[in-house]
Chain A
Amino acid sequence: MTEKREIEIDYGQVHTERMRLNVGPQHPSTHGVLRLEVELEGEIVTDVIPHIGYLHRCFEKYCENCTYVQVVPYIDRLDYISSMSNEIPYALGIEKLLDINVSERIQAIRTILAELNRIASHQIAVATFGMDAGAFTPFLYLFRDREMILDVFERLSGGRLLYNYIRPGGLMKDIYPTFVSDALAIVKQVRETNQEVQRLLIDNKIFIERSINVGIMPPDIAINFACSGPTLRGSGVNYDVRRAEPYLLYDKFDFEVCVGKGLMGTLGDSYDRNIVRMWEMEESCKIIEQAVKFIPDASEDVRASIPKKITPKGEIYTKAENPKGELGFYIVGDGKNKPVRIKGRSPSFVNLSVLPYISRGYMIADLIIILGSIDIVLGEIDR
């Protein structure tokens, strides 16, 4: 019933034709302003063409006219639900170009922030995936907990969505005194809610039936399309930038790279991609618990190593494991205070390109599920 198959119906003399349907840009489930041109045969999707660019903001061209520090707020606006993580590869790249060593404390804070942001982003991913399947309640449970994370970010940076907190060479300002206990309280709450969501949504028979064997992405397809993040790991490929090329303090932590196992259906289906996100939230909790030990009680000037002048010369590609996948920046500097070129490699854009290949032959309701399981953010796709 659920496997992909060719539909053969003898239509007789009835004249039929395929229907072209525009899903989006104002559709409730396209996660932003994505337009999908869908060709339908009844309820069966025969072709999908994603049309992007409704949110194009000329990020790369803007960067060429900004100083290096002014680029950071623009990077926030790429993947606007994981802004804190976005800043990390850029900051790392500049630091490497300028040969700056930041202290372990700053690195630990960055790690905690990245993992908190990963939890926040995965919470949205799981929540909206559930909502695409029609379950509205887990959405609000997860959003309720996400508020706690946003509150911490707000106390740190003053912003709830766009932080501009991680600067090349340091941080905007030091953490507040109860930051560590707040982070641990979040970890406790996230675990509690995840158990509840597991019972309410993930283990629900209807939800399992909806998401298994849908949008199967075999490992070779995932690799060929250069997918990354949970979308890649859902297909069973054990690749995580945090493990493969450790940055920050990730080589010091004990955590597991979660890969899809085809638990309920086929390896690489929507269920796997979703459950990997659930597991990764738990791994992030583990990392936070370990990382808080690297923060000494003594206060320290987090702006000490921020350079007065950022005038790097040379080129570098830095990447980091963002919640959505591998976010990379190719930075070219010519010794002036403005970059010559900044190219962003955004995971959502790359992951979206696989959508037409994994959604043909499924129903229109499945197309929404597949799109939700890829977990895209349009701000990052269009840049």
Chain B
Amino acid sequence: MEHNFIFDLVGNNIWAYLITATIPLIFVTLYALVAILGELKIASWVQDRLGPMRTGWKGVLQPLAEVVKLLQKEDITPKNVNKPLFNVSPFVMFTGSFAAFAVIPYSSKFIPADINVGLFYVFAVSSFAVIGILMGGWSSNNKYSMLGGIRSAAQMISYEIPMALSILAIAAMANSLSITEIIKSQDGGIWNWFIFGGPGPIWKIAFFPFIIILFLVYFIGSLAETNRTPFDIPEGESEIVGGYHTEYSGMKFAMFFFAEYANMYVVSALVTIMFLGGWNSPFGDFLNGPIWQFFWFISKAMFFVFIQIWLRWTLPRVRVDQLMYITWKVMLPFAFIAFMGIAFWAMLNPTIIK
């Protein structure tokens, strides 16, 4: 429990566990509000318009207004749907995203669950979303929903393979699957982050191309994993209306929405953990206290959330066959090659404790 300050404060009892479980829930709620506002404001910035301006100062209360609107809306369950699956699907989806928050750290003093296979755990639970989308798509009894659900299943399963390879490479570099260990092996300034090859002698620059490839493969894969543009074909509003959530309304739709934003943070946090040194300050020990670590981690993760939003309003959408082409014929071979390169680097690197 060395990484959880709650236990230092209240002792090792049931309250400590409850508080530890509640903090991520509060965080994800606050984050979703910020991200929705960010999405609206970044979209308006990209598109040369003002965005919401009427709710509060410069429209900062807009996300709250949207949440209230979704709560008030009638919760429609269409006729002839498979009711149990239809009702449970948004919650399965959100469970999948939220479960990943259990191991996402905030600072070296607060990791909700510091398990030794953290990376593997995140990867496992984030696949949960596929079931949610497939359930929602199939049970809606709508052809558009079904197309969206099936597209999504094909897409997410395919993109997990190159992503798994990049996670494997990181595990090789850090010699661990524990998120704490991965972050700790990147301390000591920006030059020791895994995007720059991790700690090691100067000839690690020979392996930079492999790491950049892995980084890109992971980030592109995570875009597909979260169904964000340019891989938002399961939603594809111009083709299949709303995709798997065509028939959802009110709070159930909000759960899908919420899960998407939560997922965005999860993949961004993973990029931060795996490539950008997690909570480590870029200046070594300077500004590296627990509060500063929280700042660094959130900033890095939000930067990638910002990139995802930015891409969404810039790029068109790819087609289903092109999507499959990208993952199986481009990303997978590159990920293999990069993984081989990283494996060499991990073998030759003298700083890794064997």
Contacts and interface: CB of A to CB of B under 8 A. Distances in A.
Nearest to A19: B143
A130 B317 CA distance: 10
30 contacts: A19-B143, A21-B143, A28-B238, A43-B320, A130-B316, A131-B238, A133-B317, A134-B229, A134-B230, A134-B232, A134-B316, A134-B317, A137-B47, A137-B313, A137-B314, A140-B47, A141-B47, A141-B48, A144-B48, A206-B316, A206-B317, A206-B318, A207-B316, A209-B318, A210-B319, A210-B322, A365-B233, A365-B317, A365-B319, A365-B320
B325 interface: yes
Given A135-B315, A365-B320, A1 B236 contact: no
Given A141-B48, A206-B230, A368 B315 contact: no
B239 interface: yes
A21 B237 CA distance: 16
A29 B144 CA distance: 14
A43 B315 contact: no
Contact of A27 (B241, B314, B320): B241
A132 interface: yes
B172 interface: no
Interface string A201-215: 100101101100000
B212 interface: no
A133 B147 contact: no
Interface string B316-346: 1111111001000000000000000000000
Nearest to A364: B239
B318 A200 contact: no
Interface residues of A, number: 30
B240 interface: yes
3 closest Cβ contacts across the A-B interface?
Answer: A134-B317, A135-B316, A133-B316
Interface in A31-63: 43
B320 A134 contact: no
A249 B240 CA distance: 46
A151 B313 CA distance: 27
B150 to A, nearest CB: 9
Nearest to B319: A365
Interface of B: 46-49, 143-144, 147, 151, 229-230, 232-233, 236-241, 313-322, 325
Contacts of B239: 29, 364-365, 368
What is the interface of chain A mostly: helix, strand, loop, or mixed? helix
A21 B48 CA distance: 37
A340 interface: no
Contacts of B232: 134
A28 B241 CA distance: 7
Given A140-B47, A206-B318, 20 more contacts: A1-B321, A28-B237, A130-B316, A131-B238, A134-B229, A134-B232, A134-B315, A134-B317, A135-B314, A135-B317, A137-B313, A206-B315, A209-B318, A209-B319, A210-B318, A363-B319, A364-B239, A364-B240, A368-B238, A368-B239
Contacts of B319: 209-210, 363, 365-366
A132 B322 contact: no
A19 B240 CA distance: 14
Contacts of B46: 137
A136 interface: yes
A43 B230 CA distance: 19
B316 A204 contact: yes
A1 B322 contact: yes
A351 to B, nearest CB: 20
Residue picked from B47, B240, B241, B316, most chain A C-beta under 10 Å: B316
Given A363-B320, A365-B233, A1 B325 contact: yes
Interface string A362-382: 011110100000000000000
B175 to A, nearest CB: 38
Contacts of A21: 143-144
B224 to A, nearest CB: 13
A135 B318 CA distance: 10
A140 B48 contact: yes
Contacts of B325: 1
Nearest to B238: A29
Contacts of A140: 47-49
Contacts of A43: 147, 151, 320
B322 A209 contact: yes
A12 to B, nearest CB: 19
A27 B47 CA distance: 24
A363 B319 CA distance: 8
Contacts of B318: 206, 209-210
Interface string A122-147: 00000000111111110011001000
A245 to B, nearest CB: 38
Contacts of A201: 316
A206 B230 CA distance: 9
A144 B316 CA distance: 20
A210 B238 contact: no
Interface in A209-226: 209-210
Contacts of A366: 319
Nearest to A131: B238
A270 B232 CA distance: 22
A383 B20 CA distance: 65
Contacts of A135: 314-317
Contacts of B147: 43, 364
Given A1-B321, A43-B320, A207-B316, A134 B240 contact: no
A382 B299 CA distance: 55
